[in-house]
Amino acid sequence: MRRLVTDTLVIAERNLVRLPRAPELLLAFTVQPIMFVLLFRYVFGGAIKTPGYSYADFLIPGIIVQNIAFGGFVTALGLNEDLHKGLIDRFRSLPMARPAVLAGRTSADVVTNALSATILVITGLLIGFSFHTSVWEAIAGFGLLLVFGYAFSWVFAFLGMLVSTPEAANSVGFIAVFPLTFISSAFVPVQSMPEPLRAFAEVNPFTITVDAMRSLWLGAPAHNNVWGALVWAVAIIAVFAPLAVARYRTAAGG
Amino acid sequence: MPAGSDRSTVDTLNAADLARDSGAAAVSAHGLVKSYGSVRALAGVDLEVPTATVLGLLGPNGAGKTTIIRILTTLLKPDAGSAQVDGLDVVRDAAKLRERIGLAGQYAAVDENLTGLENLTMVGRLYGEKRAAAKRRGEELLERFELLEAANRPTKTYSGGMRRRLDLAAALVASPPVLFLDEPTTGLDPRSRLQLWETIEGLVAEGTTVLLTTQNLDEADRLASEISVIDQGRVIAGGSPDDLKDRVGGERLEIRLADAAQGEVALGALASMTDDPPSAEGDLVRVGVRRRDGAIVEAVRRLDRAGIGVQDITLRRPTLDDVFLALTGHGAESGEADLQDAA
Asked if the structure places residue B82 within a domain, the reply is: yes
**Confidence category of residue A254, pLDDT binned at 50, 70, 90:** very low
Of B196, B218, B246, which residue sits at a domain end? B246
- Could you tell me if B239 and B255 lie in one domain? no
Q: Which residue of B has its CA nearest to A84?
A: B107
The SS3 assignment for A42 reads: helix
- State how far the Cα of B72 lies from the Cα of B241, in Å rounded to an integer: 23
In order of A71, A160, A171, B131, B342, the CA distances from A164 in angstroms are 20, 8, 12, 34, 12
- Smallest CA-to-CA distance from A212 within A235, A240, A231 is with A231
User: CATH number, domain at B277?
Assistant: 3.30.70.100
Chain B contacts of A246, Cβ < 8 Å?
Answer: none
In order of A129, B102, B181, B214, the CA distances from B211 in angstroms are 63, 10, 6, 10
- Smallest CA-to-CA distance from A213 within A224, A225, A200 is with A225
Q: Which residue of B has its CA nearest to A12?
A: B122
CB contact under 8 A, A18 and B123: no
Chain B contacts of A100, Cβ < 8 Å?
Answer: 126
Asked if the structure places residue B127 within a domain, the reply is: no
Helix axes A135-162, A166-182, angle to 10 degrees: 140
Q: Which residue of A has its CA nearest to B36?
A: A252
Average pLDDT over every residue of A170-197: 88
**Which helix (H) or strand (E) is A173 found in, with range?**
helix A166-182
Q: What's the sign of the alpha-carbon dihedral A94, A96, A100, A105? A: negative
- Which residues from B are below 8 Å from A when comparing CB atoms? 66, 70, 73-76, 95-96, 98-99, 101, 103, 105-114, 118, 122-123, 125-128, 154, 170
- Could you tell me if B267 and B304 lie in one domain? yes
Nearest neighbour of B109 by CB, restricted to A22, A90, A95: A90
Chain A contacts of B107, Cβ < 8 Å?
Answer: 84-86, 253-254
* More confident call, B294 vs A184: A184
Tell me the shortest Cα–Cα distance from A148 to chain B, in angstroms. Answer: 28
- Could you tell me if B95 and B184 lie in one domain? yes
Q: What is the pLDDT of residue B329?
A: 67
- Could you tell me if B259 and B292 lie in one domain? yes
The SS3 assignment for A223 reads: coil
Nearest neighbour of A93 by CB, restricted to B75, B96, B107: B75
- Could you tell me if B240 and B312 lie in one domain? no
Asked if the structure places residue B15 within a domain, the reply is: yes
Query: Under 8 Å CB-to-CB from A177, ≥6 apart: which residues?
Result: A69, A70, A72, A73
Chain B contacts of A94, Cβ < 8 Å?
Answer: 98, 123, 126-127
CB contact under 8 A, A86 and B108: yes
Beta strands B310-316 and B252-257 are: antiparallel
ipTM > 0.85, yes or no: yes
Of B202, B223, B246, which residue sits at a domain end? B246
- State how far the Cα of B168 lies from the Cα of B195, in Å rounded to an integer: 12
Give per-residue pLDDT as tens, A54-74: 899 999 999 999 988 888 888
Give per-residue pLDDT as tens, B42-71: 999 999 999 999 999 988 888 899 999 999
Q: Which residue of A has its CA nearest to B112?
A: A18
- State how far the Cα of A157 lies from the Cα of A103, in Å rounded to an integer: 9
Range of the domain at B273: 251-316
- Helix H, strand E, coil C: the string for chain B is CCHHHHHHHCCHHHHHHHHHHCCCEEEEEEEEEEEECCEEEEEEEEEEEECCCEEEEECCCCCCHHHHHHHHCCCCCCCEEEEEECCEECCCCHHHHCCCEEEECCCCCCCCCCEHHHHHHHHHHHCCCCHHHHHHHHHHHHHHCCCHHHCCCEHHHCCHHHHHHHHHHHHCCCCCCEEEEECCCCCCCHHHHHHHHHHHHHHHHCCCEEEEEECCHHHHHHHCCEEEEEECCEEEEEECHHHHHHHHCCCEEEEEECCHHHHHHHHHHHHHHCCCCCEEECCEEEEECCCCCCHHHHHHHHHHHCCCCEEEEEEECCCHHHHHHHHHCCCHHHCCCCHHHHC
Q: What is the pLDDT of residue B14?
A: 58
Choice among A152-166, B114-128, B253-267 with the minimum mean pLDDT: B253-267
Beta strands B101-104 and B54-58 are: unpaired
User: CATH number, domain at B203?
Assistant: 3.40.50.300
CB contact under 8 A, A94 and B126: yes
Chain A contacts of B106, Cβ < 8 Å?
Answer: 86, 254
Give per-residue pLDDT as tens, B254-291: 889 888 888 888 888 888 887 777 778 888 888 887 77
- Could you tell me if B263 and B241 lie in one domain? no
- Could you tell me if B180 and B84 lie in one domain? yes
The answer to whether residues A72 and A156 touch, using CB atoms and an 8 Å cutoff, is: yes
- State how far the Cα of B311 lies from the Cα of B216, in Å rounded to an integer: 29
Asked if the structure places residue B154 within a domain, the reply is: no
- Could you tell me if B213 and B306 lie in one domain? no
**What total of structural domains would you count in chain B?**
2
Asked if the structure places residue B165 within a domain, the reply is: no
Nearest neighbour of B113 by CB, restricted to A3, A18, A253: A18
CB contact under 8 A, B170 and A90: yes
- Could you tell me if B92 and B191 lie in one domain? yes
- Could you tell me if B183 and B65 lie in one domain? yes
Chain B contacts of A90, Cβ < 8 Å?
Answer: 103, 105, 109, 123, 170
Asked if the structure places residue B194 within a domain, the reply is: yes
Chain B contacts of A101, Cβ < 8 Å?
Answer: none
What angle (nearest 5°) sits at the alpha carbon of residue A151, between those of residues A150 and A152?
90
Chain B contacts of A253, Cβ < 8 Å?
Answer: 105, 107, 109
Q: What is the pLDDT of residue B48?
A: 93
Beta bridge partners of B284: B256, B281
Give per-residue pLDDT as tens, B150-202: 999 999 999 988 998 999 999 999 999 999 999 988 878 888 888 889 989 99
- State how far the Cα of B246 lies from the Cα of B240, in Å rounded to an integer: 10
Chain A contacts of B70, Cβ < 8 Å?
Answer: 89, 252
- Could you tell me if B310 and B204 lie in one domain? no
Of B201, B220, B246, which residue sits at a domain end? B246
- Which residues from A are below 8 Å from B when comparing CB atoms? 3, 6-7, 10, 13-14, 17-18, 21-22, 84-87, 89-96, 100, 252-254
- Could you tell me if B185 and B303 lie in one domain? no
Please state the pTM of the whole predicted model: 0.82
Edge-to-edge, what's the strand order for the sheet holding B284-288?
B279-281, B284-288, B252-257, B310-316
Query: Under 8 Å CB-to-CB from B292, ≥6 apart: which residues?
Result: B251, B315
- Helix H, strand E, coil C: the string for A227-248 is HHHHHHHHHHHHHHHHHHHHHH
Chain A contacts of B98, Cβ < 8 Å?
Answer: 93-95
CB contact under 8 A, A87 and B101: no
Count residue pairs from A and B with Cβ separation < 8 A: 76
In order of B310, B323, B325, the CA distances from B280 in angstroms are 14, 21, 19
Max Cα–Cα distance, chain B, nearest Å = 75
CB contact under 8 A, A93 and B74: yes
Q: Which residue of B has its CA nearest to A13?
A: B122
- Smallest CA-to-CA distance from A155 within A86, A205, A228, A203 is with A205
